[in-house]
């Protein structure tokens, strides 16, 4: 449960505030709340009341999640939560309650925090209560409230359910890692082993990530070796964690070594591998940042990188990615449609995949492979962009297709899709 939140974020390399875009209505509210100081005024409360009463459940909860994550607007989360709790559709949610309690604690509103927790505890059975305490541990840890996380762990251990013991270890290990205390997390793994529980992949990944984020690479590698020694094989996820940690510190030579290790061990590259590596390549980012100038072929890209990059390892990383098979996993091919799906890819990854895609199309057409009726590129319309409706990947595809005089145009029925007849694309490329 908590593992997903911890392990998905670093490779994505996005600020938490930008992971999920809001509608224009939600953006207007946040903009209005940011005026007039950090503390809610009567005007702010009126804006929140009107917003909640006129918005859908999905939009309201999404906006609340943005307030939880925002450093500047978190003080507005409590009045919105209270207003939401008065709606007809509201149903008590353990995750929201845990997030709210931790946020109140962080802002020194201890009585309100305790009241919310007590109200929650009184309505829960043992199983639901154990989940709630796990969520509290996670929420407190994200806000740096170590003692409160430990208090919740102590309460969790009091629940008379056999499954709670292991769940408690997992939650507190995750909590220590979120707090940036991997040594404490390792000590708890030892305690967990003494209690008769074998550490899982989750524990090793969490601790390796926490060490890596702190720049303690020797310790990170030691945990990875320990993971192997325990009989848990290395996989794409742990390799992506290592790559993202090295990338945050610009350790490109190490990244080259681990990318090659992935290939030697036959560990599959993923879209996240592309994102983790390319988000760490400053010259590549600079090139993609000039859409009217970036090369339109892999050969041209490599030549430009060799001239512009201050590190030969950046070029090596790009070459290693190009020789992977990620494109094959994102390209669907049949008599009806040849579709490239760019969902999940950041801008640099989309650019490199598009260059590989063009070469792959030329190869297939020259070999006489079945010609699809349609060729399409799916990039999304910007629903998950930092500004809703403004997709940087879509802008990239549009610029590339325009500069290359491509027959692929925006689909009238789906603005997040470029499409053309298969024969037109074949004539264009060949």
pLDDT in tens, 391-427: 889 999 999 999 999 999 998 888 889 999 999 999 9
Q: How far apart are CA 252 and CA 281, in angstroms?
A: 8
Residue 166 is encoded by which pair of tokens?
């292991």
Could you report the per-residue pLDDT of 406-416, keeping only the tens digit for each? Answer: 999 998 888 88
pLDDT reported for residue 3 = 35
Q: Average pLDDT for residues 163-186, to the nearest whole number? A: 94
Q: Average pLDDT for residues 82-86, to the nearest whole number? A: 84
The pLDDT-based confidence of 381 (bands split at 50, 70, 90) is low
Could you report the per-residue pLDDT of 250-284, keeping only the tens digit for each? Answer: 999 999 999 999 999 999 999 999 999 999 999 99
Contact criterion met (CB below 8 Å) for 339 and 403? no
pLDDT over 70 at 19, yes or no: no
The pLDDT-based confidence of 13 (bands split at 50, 70, 90) is very low
Residue 74 is encoded by which pair of tokens?
């978190």
Looking at mean pLDDT, say which of 7-11, 65-69, 85-89, 269-273 comes out highest.
269-273
pLDDT reported for residue 38 = 62
pLDDT reported for residue 254 = 96
Residues 175, 69 share a domain: yes
Whether 137 is in a domain gets the answer yes
Whether 350 is in a domain gets the answer yes
pLDDT reported for residue 36 = 64
Residues 255, 169 share a domain: no
pLDDT reported for residue 390 = 65
Residue finishing a domain among 253, 281, 313: 313
Question: 347 lies in which domain range?
Answer: 325-429
What's the CA angle centered on 242, arms 236 and 248, to 5 degrees? 130
Could you report the per-residue pLDDT of 28-50, keeping only the tens digit for each? Answer: 888 888 776 666 778 888 888 88
Cα dist. 289→33, 214, 392 in Å?
32, 29, 10
* Domains held by the chain: number: 3
Residues 114, 151 share a domain: yes
Q: What is the value of pTM for the model shown? A: 0.82
Residues 172, 78 share a domain: yes
**Residue 267 DSSP code:** P
Whether 349 is in a domain gets the answer yes
Residue 386 is encoded by which pair of tokens?
């930092």
pLDDT over 80 at 154, yes or no: yes
Helix (H) or strand (E) holding 270: none
Residues 166, 92 share a domain: yes
Residues 399, 425 share a domain: yes
Residues 162, 256 share a domain: no
The pLDDT-based confidence of 383 (bands split at 50, 70, 90) is low
Whether 27 is in a domain gets the answer no
pLDDT over 50 at 359, yes or no: yes
Which of 401, 400, 256 lies closest to 319 in space, CA to CA? 256
Which of 65, 74, 83 lies closest to 20 in space, CA to CA? 65
Looking at mean pLDDT, say which of 80-84, 205-209, 327-331 comes out highest.
205-209
Residues 363, 280 share a domain: no
Q: 309-324 as b/e, with b when 16 or more CB fall inside 10 Å?
A: bebebbbbbbebbbeb
pLDDT over 80 at 382, yes or no: no
Could you report the per-residue pLDDT of 215-224, keeping only the tens digit for each? Answer: 999 999 999 9
Which of 291, 289, 270 lies closest to 281 in space, CA to CA? 289
Handedness of CA 239, 245, 247, 249 (dihedral sign): negative
> Average per-residue pLDDT in the chain?
87
Residues 341, 301 share a domain: no
């Amino acid at each position: 449960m908590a593992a997903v939140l911890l392990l998905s974020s670093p490779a994505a390399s996005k600020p938490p505030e930008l992971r999920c875009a809001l509608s224009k209505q939600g953006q207007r509210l946040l903009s209005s709340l940011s005026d007039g100081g950090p503390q809610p005024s009567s005007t702010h409360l009126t804006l929140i009341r009107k917003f909640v009463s006129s918005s859908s459940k999905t939009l309201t909860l999404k906006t609340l999640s943005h307030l939880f994550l925002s450093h500047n607007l978190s003080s507005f989360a409590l009045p919105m939560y209270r207003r939401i709790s008065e709606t007809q559709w509201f149903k008590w949610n353990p995750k929201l309650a845990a997030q709210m309690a931790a946020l109140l604690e962080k802002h020194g509103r201890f009585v309100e925090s305790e009241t919310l927790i007590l109200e929650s505890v009184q309505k829960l059975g043992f199983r639901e209560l154990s989940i709630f305490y796990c969520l509290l541990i996670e929420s407190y840890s994200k806000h740096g409230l170590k003692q409160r996380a430990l208090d919740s762990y102590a309460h969790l251990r009091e629940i008379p359910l056999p499954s709670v013991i292991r769940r408690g270890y997992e939650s507190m290990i995750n909590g220590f890692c979120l707090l940036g205390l991997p040594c404490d997390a390792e000590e708890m793994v030892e305690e967990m082993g003494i209690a008769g529980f074998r550490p899982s992949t989750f524990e090793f990944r969490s601790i390796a990530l926490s060490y890596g984020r702190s720049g303690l690479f020797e310790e990170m590698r030691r945990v990875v070796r320990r993971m192997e020694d325990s009989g848990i094989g290395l996989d794409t996820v742990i390799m992506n964690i290592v790559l993202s940690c090295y990338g945050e510190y610009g350790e490109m030579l190490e990244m080259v070594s681990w990318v090659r290790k992935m290939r030697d061990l036959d560990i599959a590259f993923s879209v996240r591998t592309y994102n983790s590596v390319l988000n760490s390549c400053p010259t590549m980012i600079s090139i993609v940042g000039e859409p009217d100038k970036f090369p339109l072929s892999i050969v041209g890209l490599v030549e430009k990188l060799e001239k512009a990059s201050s590190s030969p390892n950046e070029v090596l990383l790009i070459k290693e990615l190009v020789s992977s098979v990620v494109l094959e996993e994102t390209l669907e091919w049949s008599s009806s449609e040849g579709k490239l799906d760019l969902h999940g890819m950041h801008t640099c990854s989309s650019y490199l995949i598009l260059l590989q895609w063009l070469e792959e199309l030329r190869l297939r057409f020259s070999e006489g492979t079945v010609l699809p009726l349609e060729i399409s590129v799916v990039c999304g319309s910007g629903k998950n962009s930092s500004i809703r409706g403004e997709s940087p990947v879509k802008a990239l595809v549009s610029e590339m297709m325009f500069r290359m005089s491509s027959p692929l145009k925006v689909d009238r029925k789906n603005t997040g899709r470029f499409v053309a007849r298969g024969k037109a694309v074949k004539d264009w490329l060949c």
